[in-house]
Amino acid sequence: MTPAPWFGRKAKAARKTARQSVDALPDGLWTKCPKCGEILFNKELQKNLRVCSKCGYHYILGARERIASIVDDGAFEEMDANLVTVNILGFEEYDDKLAKWRQRTGMDEAIVTGIGEIDGRTVVIGVLDFHFWAGTMGGVVGERVVRAMEYAIKNDLPVIMFIASGGIRVTEGLPGLMQMAKTSAACAKLHEAGIPYIVVLTDNSLAGVLASYGSLGDFTISEPGLLTGLTADRVAKQAQVVNVPDNFRRAEFALEHGHIDRIVARKELKSTLIKLLEFCRNREEDEEDAA
Ligand SMILES: [Zn+2]
C-alpha cells in the first residue's frame, strides 16, 4: 500500500482537502479517511483504535489514547507530572508557543511517562504525543525519559517507549540537543542493568529522538507506513546527492534494512508486546537457572 505523504506541498494540499472534507461532514459523527476517502462512523473508528476499516490507514493516537489502548483497564500511574518546561534561553515567543500547544492538546508537554500494567505485568512506559509540538524533545521530555528509565533500573522493570517525534525542539537550543546524549546514556545504563527495553515507533519518528533513545531498544517495533529517518522529506530531497527509492524513509524500508525488527498493526500491538515481555521474562529465568 502507498503510505499517505506527510511533508511537502502535495501533502499539505492533501491534508487541507482532507480537513475540508471532514469539515463538510456532520459534526462529531463521521470522519473521512484521508487515504482512501471512506466515510467512517466515529464510534466505529474509535472502537477500531483509530484505524480505517477499509484501507488500514492508522490515524495518529494521542498519548492518553495510546496508553488506554495498551495498559490493562486504566492500570496506569503517571510519573513526574510536576516537571515544568522553562524558557531557559529566553527564546522570543517560546512561552506563547508552549501555551498554544498546551491549550490545543490539554497536555503540559510532549510526553507522558508512568508505570502501567500490561497483561498483569508491571512496566515503565513513556509515550510521545505528536499533537504536542510534533512530539519534539526539550528538557522536560528528556528528563522524564531519563527518570522513567532510572525508576525501571531501581525497580527491575521493563521499559517501553512509544516514539512519535519530529526531533529536538530547536527553540531550546543546545540544552535541547543535550537531551540526546542524556537519554542515550540512560539507555546504556538500562543495558548494563539487563533491563529489557522495547521501542515502538507510532508515527513520524525522526531526527534527534530517533538518533538517541528511539534507536537504542533491544527490540524496535513500528506501526505500518510511518516516516522514519533523520530528516523530513523536503530536507532530505534538498540534501539528496544519490538516487534512493521513494520509500527509503518509510518503516517498511527500515524493516528490510534491519533498523526495525517488526512492523505490527495497531490491533496486534498489545498482544505482540505481551509476547515480547513474556519472552524477556523467560530468558531472565533461564539465565538465573544457568547461573
Ligand atoms: Zn481508509
CA-wise closest residue to 107 among 51, 142, 148, 65? 65
- Residue 232 Cα to ligand 1 midpoint, Å, equals 24
- Residue 59 Cα to ligand 1 midpoint, Å, equals 10
Helix (H, G, I), strand (E, B) or coil at 197: strand
- Residue 173 Cα to ligand 1 midpoint, Å, equals 39
pLDDT in tens, the chain (291 residues): 344 444 455 555 654 544 444 444 555 688 888 888 888 888 888 889 889 988 988 988 889 999 999 999 889 999 998 888 888 888 888 889 899 999 988 899 999 999 999 999 999 999 999 999 989 999 999 999 999 999 999 999 999 999 999 889 888 888 888 999 999 999 999 999 999 999 999 988 788 898 899 999 999 999 987 887 777 666 666 666 566 667 777 888 888 888 899 999 999 999 999 999 998 888 877 787 887
All CATH 3.90.226.10 domain ranges in the chain, comma separated: 61-290
- Residue 136 Cα to ligand 1 midpoint, Å, equals 27
User: Would you say the C-alpha torsion 165, 166, 171, 176 has a positive or negative sign?
Assistant: positive
* pTM listed for this prediction: 0.82
Contact 28, 35 (CB under 8 A): no
Q: Which residues does 208 contact at the CB level (< 8 Å), separation at least 6? A: 137, 165, 167, 168, 176, 177, 179, 180
- Residue 38 Cα to ligand 1 midpoint, Å, equals 6
- Residue 15 Cα to ligand 1 midpoint, Å, equals 14
- Residue 51 Cα to ligand 1 midpoint, Å, equals 8
For domain 61-290, give the CATH number: 3.90.226.10
- Residue 46 Cα to ligand 1 midpoint, Å, equals 14
